[in-house]
Amino acid sequence: MPRFAFRIEYHGAPFCGWQRQSAQTSVQAAIEAALARLDPSHPTVSAAGRTDTGVHATGQVGHAELTRDWAPERLLEAVNHHLRPHPIAITACARVDEGFHARFSAIGRQYLFRLVSRRAPMVLERGLVWQVRQPLALKPMQEAAQALIGHHDFTTFRASLCQAASPVKTLDELTITEHPLAGGAEFRFTLRARSFLHNQVRSIVGTLERVGAGSWPPVRVAEALEARDRTACGPVSPPQGLYLTGVRYPNDPFSS
């Protein structure tokens, strides 16, 4: 059966997350329902990663097998038509060989977290950022972040219900930039790794926010990592500021 890869964008607020769940609306179920309108086999969609409730994506990748060998551009248009009115869009579609798997073929994933510091409420981007009212200092957060880059046991920064076989991961990038905003500033956290633990990104951002607010000295982040103890972690940030922005493969299925 022909296999197709999809690059997927979605606003996570209306969904219980990526994964299909009974009696709840998920991104996976919405896409599968759209595909079922086009293919009698009711295709299932496998994704590069399972995003949580409220988490967004601009570069999620999924794949599905269909009975008909569509032209990718026509399949993209047809799926998007049947996705309405869900806030989901297929932004790229490609025919791939049967050895491609959205999750198991991936060799890297990238997340963006958007944190806004200002007292005035967000209006245009409400639900798309995590807003705090207190000022944040960039340099202490950047200093503290250095301790997390590299190959570490991230037990402190994983959810208690995380199902990963090992807490050891290699964080290839953790950069923080500051961007002016009317009445405040936006801080953007970019994180890259082959794979992440459940709640790892949100745990890291929530901890670094405490450093930026002056509640934690930068060295405490390194101490928390070394403790390998979930109770040493700072608060877990809310999901609305988190975006899955990209998935990397040995050969980009959407490059041609």
Q: What is the DSSP string of 40-88?
A: TT----EES--PBTT-EEEEEEEEEE-SS---HHHHHHHHHHHHTTSSE
Examine the residue annotation and report whether 52 is marked as an active-site residue of this protein: yes
Indicate whether 23 belongs to any domain. yes
Residues 80 and 134 occupy one common structural domain: no
Contacts by 144-152 with C-beta closer than 8 Å and gap 24+?
144/208, 144/211, 144/216, 144/218, 144/219, 144/220, 144/221, 144/222, 145/174, 145/175, 145/176, 145/204, 145/208, 145/221, 147/221, 147/222, 147/225, 148/174, 148/204, 148/221, 148/225, 149/173, 149/174, 152/225
pLDDT tens digit string along 195-244? 999 999 999 999 999 999 999 999 999 999 999 999 999 999 999 999 99
| Domain count across the chain | 2
Residue after which a domain boundary falls, among 57, 76, 105: 105
Residues 156 and 120 occupy one common structural domain: yes
Catalytic residue, candidates 52, 97, 153, 229 = 52
State residue 116's pLDDT score.
98
Using 50 as the pLDDT threshold, list the residues of the chain that sit under it: none
Indicate whether 132 belongs to any domain. yes
Residues 114 and 157 occupy one common structural domain: yes
CATH number of the domain encompassing residue 203: 3.30.70.660
State residue 132's pLDDT score.
98
CB 50 within 8 A of CB 249: no
Task: Provide the pairing of β-strand 242-248 with 56-65.
Answer: parallel
Residues 112 and 150 occupy one common structural domain: yes
CB 63 within 8 A of CB 45: yes
Indicate whether 184 belongs to any domain. yes
To the nearest whole percent, how much of the chain has pLDDT over 70?
A: 100
Beta bridge partners of 184: 118, 181
183: left (phi over 0), alpha (psi -120 to 50) or beta: left
Residues 39 and 126 occupy one common structural domain: no
Residues 166 and 237 occupy one common structural domain: yes
Q: Give the three-state DSSP class for 142.
A: helix
Q: What is the DSSP letter of 138?
A: H
Residues 84 and 210 occupy one common structural domain: no
Indicate whether 27 belongs to any domain. yes
Residue after which a domain boundary falls, among 105, 137, 152: 105
State residue 209's pLDDT score.
98
Residue after which a domain boundary falls, among 88, 105, 122: 105
CATH number of the domain encompassing residue 45: 3.30.70.580
Indicate whether 17 belongs to any domain. yes
Domain of 100? 3-105
- Residue type present at position 106: A
Indicate whether 254 belongs to any domain. no
The pTM of this model reads 0.96
Indicate whether 51 belongs to any domain. yes
